[in-house]
């Protein structure tokens, strides 16, 4: 069967967080996407445990922060500590920490994003599996399988958000070079721990014979790594990593988890079964991959999230993938609605982010590896982490806040970066800038004394704010396309930038 009639605008393969985030962005841009998801119902398998870094600010700018479990008001940066390769990263030494944390299980992230996508008019077809594609100059013909029938549909653009083993990527022939390491075996389990081992003051797990293990801060020993993660409202999650173990095909057990902890720490931690009905984590993973697709675009087919990149460093893939979706969404919508075609900038902006994340992931792997040479390297690195500039560099990498998009002719310090979090004082009262960008439209923020900046086709807000900038031109993904600190901003480059990114020249 073929669905005849006018081609669909965008078909997204994959109904995980990245595909659903993209569906929301497209719908905000005036496009009604169709999401094809192989699973008949959302997975209940525990996966990621939260969002870290710039993506937390991004979901706030779409009004999703509280829905995902954040507290009312703006996200508050982490000014305490974070982890890097089993080192404590002391964020308190920074005046403005770039690290934001939002603890939310992926199951809830998918539920919230699916609800939002449907509210905005996206069509989500569950139990529909991608089976192949044929593309030409005008669009893509997609083959789909369901339990009842096979059919084809026609779309102007196709996006693969179908994970690291992406069938869409394979169908296009796009390569996925990188590194596979099989030296490590990692284990994760929801457990209970003895109450007398919990330190009520610090929240640490006090292990007799080893010492305190701080929450979420991995411990590295000569025999592996151990992490204790007391997730609010969920069972305690523990994890171990060991090297050069024989591969096992037996089902993972709680006894195996306990034995692994004993080998790593050198002492026994009597973990028990988790409370409640679950689903609970109990898994063993062999090795890890760090890979980036040769290209993010093949004609009318695009890749986002794990289909475009995977990293052997927990959490980085989801944080990067959701930002891929926010970058691509407004650009696809602009092309489809006839405003402007900037689709080629998707890869030039987002691939360097993946390459930077590879550096981060591989540095972590090197610093966690066993061996006397690594011990010496860690001693040196531990000394470096007492310096504020080093903490800033690592914190920016953790948060994904260290890659600036190409800015063309506007070299203002804010250009190419996410918009700052500003409280705007307008004639109608004070409002957060994050609340003004939730409709994913370009926005001109006029902070001049005269308050008379106007650009055709771009909404303007006239306000005052505590910043040196006098004007900001924001893209729909809240990145700064143009900025000025001049009392009377030069408007020719402002208009040229708006034409380049948002509005076709007349």
State which residues of the chain have pLDDT below 50. Answer: 1-2, 4
Distance CA 350, CA 335 (A): 18
Q: What pLDDT sits at residue 289?
A: 84
Q: What pLDDT sits at residue 246?
A: 87
Give residues with Cβ within 8 angstroms of 388, minimum separation 6: 93, 94
Strands (E) across 345-417 are located at none
Q: What pLDDT sits at residue 180?
A: 82
Unique residue bearing structure tokens 């073929």:
2
Q: What pLDDT sits at residue 15?
A: 96
Number of C-alpha atoms within 13 angstroms, CB side, residue 153? 24
SS3 content of the chain, % helix, strand, coil (to 5): 30, 30, 45
Residues in the chain: 506
CA distances to 236, 274, 425 from 261, rounded to whole Å, are 14, 16, 54
Q: What pLDDT sits at residue 54?
A: 93
Distance CA 464, CA 37 (A): 46
Other C-beta atoms within 10 Å of 506: how many?
Answer: 5
Q: What pLDDT sits at residue 352?
A: 94
Best CATH choice for the domain 181-288 from the list 1.20.140.10, 3.30.300.130, 3.40.50.10490, 3.30.70.2450: 3.30.70.2450
Give residues with Cβ within 8 angstroms of 92, minimum separation 6: 79, 80, 81
Distance CA 126, CA 149 (A): 14
Distance CA 272, CA 254 (A): 7
All CATH 3.30.70.2450 domain ranges of the chain, comma separated, are: 181-288
Which of 218, 40, 190 lies closest to 129 in space, CA to CA?
Answer: 40
Distance CA 390, CA 151 (A): 55
The answer, yes or no, to whether the previous bond of 187 is cis (omega within 30 of 0) is no
For residue 331, the SS3 value is helix
Q: What pLDDT sits at residue 120?
A: 97
Q: Domain 417-502 class?
A: alpha beta
Dihedral of the alpha carbons of 296, 301, 305, 309, in degrees to the nearest 10: -40
All CATH 3.40.30.120 domain ranges of the chain, comma separated, are: 417-502
Distance CA 354, CA 305 (A): 10
Q: What pLDDT sits at residue 5?
A: 59
The angle subtended at Cα 205 by Cα 194 and Cα 66, nearest 5°, is: 100
Q: What pLDDT sits at residue 73?
A: 84
């Amino acid at each position: 069967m073929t669905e005849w009639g006018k081609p669909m605008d965008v078909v997204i393969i994959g109904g995980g967080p990245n595909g659903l985030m993209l569906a929301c962005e497209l719908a905000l841009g005036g496009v009604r996407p169709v999401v094809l998801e192989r699973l008949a119902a959302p997975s209940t398998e525990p996966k990621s445990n939260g969002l870290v870094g710039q993506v937390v600010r991004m979901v706030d700018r779409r009004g999703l922060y509280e829905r995902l479990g954040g507290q009312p008001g703006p996200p508050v940066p982490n000014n305490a500590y974070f982890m890097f390769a089993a080192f404590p990263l002391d964020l308190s030494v920074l005046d403005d920490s770039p690290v934001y944390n939002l603890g939310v299980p992926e199951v809830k992230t998918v539920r919230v994003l699916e609800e939002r996508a449907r509210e905005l008019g996206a069509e989500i077809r569950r139990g529909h599996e991608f089976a192949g594609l044929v593309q030409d100059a005008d669009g893509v013909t997609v083959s789909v399988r369901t339990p009842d029938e096979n059919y084809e549909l026609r779309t102007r653009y196709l996006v693969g958000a179908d994970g690291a083993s992406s069938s869409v990527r394979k169908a296009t022939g796009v390569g996925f070079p990188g590194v596979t390491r099989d030296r490590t075996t990692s284990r994760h389990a929801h457990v209970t721990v003895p109450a007398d081992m919990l330190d009520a003051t610090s929240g640490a797990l006090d292990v007799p014979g080893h010492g305190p293990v701080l929450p979420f801060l991995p411990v590295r020993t000569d025999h592996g790594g151990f992490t204790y993660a007391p997730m609010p409202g969920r069972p305690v999650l523990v994890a171990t990593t060991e090297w050069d173990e024989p591969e096992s095909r037996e089902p993972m057990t709680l006894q195996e988890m306990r034995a692994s902890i004993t080998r790593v720490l050198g002492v026994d931690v009597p973990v028990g079964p988790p409370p409640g009905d679950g689903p609970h984590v109990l898994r063993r993973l062999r090795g890890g991959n760090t890979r980036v697709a040769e290209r993010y675009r093949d004609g009318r087919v695009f890749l986002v999230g794990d289909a475009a990149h995977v990293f052997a460093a927990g959490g980085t893939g989801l944080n990067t993938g959701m930002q891929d979706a926010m970058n691509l969404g407004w650009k696809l919508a602009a092309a489809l609605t006839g405003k402007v075609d900037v689709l080629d900038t998707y890869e030039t902006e987002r691939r360097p982010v993946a390459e930077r994340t590879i550096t981060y992931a591989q540095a972590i792997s090197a610093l966690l590896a066993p061996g006397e040479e690594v011990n010496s390297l860690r001693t040196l690195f531990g000394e470096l982490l007492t310096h504020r500039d080093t903490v800033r560099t690592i914190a920016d990498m953790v948060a994904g806040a260290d890659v600036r998009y190409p800015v063309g002719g506007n070299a203002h310090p804010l250009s190419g970066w996410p918009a700052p979090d500003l409280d705007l004082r307008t004639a109608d009262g004070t409002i957060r800038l994050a609340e003004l960008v939730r409709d994913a439209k370009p926005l001109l923020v006029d902070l001049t004394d005269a308050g008379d900046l106007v650009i055709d086709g771009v909404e303007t807000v006239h306000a005052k704010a505590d910043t040196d900038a006098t004007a900001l031109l924001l893209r729909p993904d809240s990145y700064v396309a143009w900025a000025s600190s001049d009392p009377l901003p030069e408007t020719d480059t402002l208009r040229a930038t708006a034409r380049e990114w948002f509005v076709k020249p007349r």
